[in-house]
A and B are shown apart, each in its own frame.
Chain A
Amino acid sequence: MSNIKEFDCRPVSQEGAESPMAWTHQHHESRPAGQNPGVRIAEKAFLGHLILRGGAIVLDEAVRDILGIALPGRPNTMTQNDAGTHSVQWLGPDEWLVIVPGGEEAELETKLRKALGDAHFSIVNVSGGQTVLTLSGANVREVLMKSVVYDVHPSAFPVGKGVTTVFAKATTIIRRPAEDHWELVVRRSFADYTYRWLLDAAAEYGVTQERA
Chain B
Amino acid sequence: MFHIYCPYCDEYREEEEFHPSGQAHLRRPADPANSTDDEWGGYLFFRDNERGVHHEMWLHAVGCRKFFNMTRNSATYEIYETYKMGERPSVTAENVGDLKRQSGVQAETSGWQTVGARPESESLNEEEQA
Interface residues of A (CB under 8 A from B): 74-76, 91-93, 95, 149-150, 163-166, 171
Contact = CB atoms under 8 A, between A and B. Distances in A.
A75 B62 contact: no
Contact of B62 (A76, A93, A95, A164): A164
B8 interface: yes
Interface in B17-46: 17
A166 B17 contact: yes
B63 A164 contact: yes
Contacts of A92: 8, 64-66
B17 A76 contact: no
Given A76-B10, A91-B65, A166-B17, 6 more contacts: A92-B8, A92-B65, A150-B13, A150-B14, A164-B63, A166-B16
B14 A149 contact: yes
Contacts of A150: 13-14
Contact of A165 (B8, B17, B66): B17
B64 A93 contact: yes
A75 B11 contact: yes
Please give me the 4 A-B residue pairs with the lowest Cβ-Cβ distance, nearest first.
A92-B64, A149-B14, A75-B10, A171-B62
Contact of A93 (B8, B14, B16): B8
- Judged by DSSP, the binding face of B is loop
Contact of B13 (A91, A165, A171): A165
A75 B17 contact: no
A150 B17 CA distance: 10
Interface of B: 8-11, 13-14, 16-17, 62-66
A144 to B, nearest CB: 14
- Judged by DSSP, the binding face of A is strand
A75 B16 contact: no
A28 to B, nearest CB: 27
Nearest to A93: B8
Contacts of B8: 75, 92-93
A155 B80 CA distance: 27
A93 B10 CA distance: 11
Given A75-B8, A75-B9, A93-B8, A163 B66 contact: no
A76 B13 contact: no
A149 B16 contact: yes
Given A75-B8, A75-B11, A93-B8, A165 B63 contact: yes
B105 to A, nearest CB: 28
Contacts of B9: 75-76, 163
Nearest to A172: B62
6 contacts: A93-B66, A149-B16, A163-B9, A163-B63, A165-B13, A166-B62
A166 B19 CA distance: 13
Contacts of B14: 149-150, 166
Contacts of B11: 75-76
B121 to A, nearest CB: 42
A164 B16 contact: no
Given A92-B8, A93-B8, A75 B13 contact: no
A164 B64 CA distance: 7
B127 to A, nearest CB: 45
Nearest to B65: A92
